[in-house]
Amino acid sequence: MIQVYKKQLLWLAVLVPMVMTTLAVAERPKQPRAPGIESPDYVWNEMRGEMLQALRATGDPIRGEISFDVCAGCHGFGAEGEDDGSYPRLAGQHASVLIKQMTDVRAGRRDNPKMYPFAADHVITTQEVADIAVFLAALPVTPDNGKGPGSDLARGEELYRQDCESCHGAIGQGSGAKFYPRVSGQHYEYLLREARMIRDGERRNANPEMVEVIEDYSDADLAIVSDFMSRLPLE
């Protein structure tokens, strides 16, 4: 009888986590899909819909810190992300860039089914998108981001000055007014992964001008320029 009871407990120990995982997957909302760069009438920085509403909203960083709790499990409580590039550093990013990316994920222009359940409109409101953005933008950017191997920084700088500086700035500061992200302080592995996805057409909310600029870049070129960007000085 004791052995039977032990077996039942063992089965429960195995079965309960499986059931919980199945339920969690079944309840996870599916990300919608909106037209992106593959669409002939796509405008990457078009200010309309929820993006425009969030940009017009007055964000509150105190409320934003509270709302960011749902994001902190992946991005970290200081929004520092991960050195391996699995999650980007959000601290110090322009609020307008953050709003664009969050609303693009919510609309389905940027494919991120892993993030979507945490960013969907039943989890955070449009006002909270604005709140989170201003909270993150005010966080300090630290120099402990993941760096590349540093094997050819001279060539990396040459590529950056030639093709990237006009948008992302001399020291990678980006432009909030033009929705160009800050790249200084960002993790090398994240920069490299996103550059590959943009070049290969896998990031559907990419700037077509950037796609055109890097379409002929080799993997080695992308790695070298990403390495250089990861080492740009912080303001």
pLDDT digits (tens, 9 = 90+) for 36-88: 999 999 999 999 999 999 999 999 999 999 999 999 999 999 999 999 999 99
- List the helix and strand counts (H, then E) for the chain: 12, 0
The pLDDT tens digits for 98-143 are 999 999 999 999 999 999 999 999 999 999 999 999 999 999 999 9
Share of the chain above pLDDT 70, in %: 89
Question: The pTM is what?
Answer: 0.88
Cα diameter, the chain: 77
- Expressed in angstroms, the distance from the first to the final Cα of the chain is 70
- Check residue 138 and give its pLDDT: 98
Band of pLDDT at residue 2, cut at 50, 70 and 90: low
For the cut 50, the answer to whether the pLDDT of residue 166 exceeds it is yes
For the cut 50, the answer to whether the pLDDT of residue 11 exceeds it is no
Q: Which amino acid is at 190?
A: Y
Band of pLDDT at residue 10, cut at 50, 70 and 90: very low
Band of pLDDT at residue 235, cut at 50, 70 and 90: confident
Please check whether residue 169 is in contact with residue 175, taking contact to mean a CB–CB distance below 8 angstroms: yes
Computed over every residue of the chain, the mean pLDDT equals 91
Delineate the domains of the chain, giving CATH numbers in brackets. 49-137 (1.10.760.10), 153-230 (1.10.760.10)
Task: Report in angstroms the alpha-carbon separations of 198 from 33, 37, 144, 227, 231.
Answer: 18, 10, 25, 17, 21
The stretch 137-152 carries a mean pLDDT of: 96
Backbone angles phi, psi at 180, to 5 degrees: -85, 125
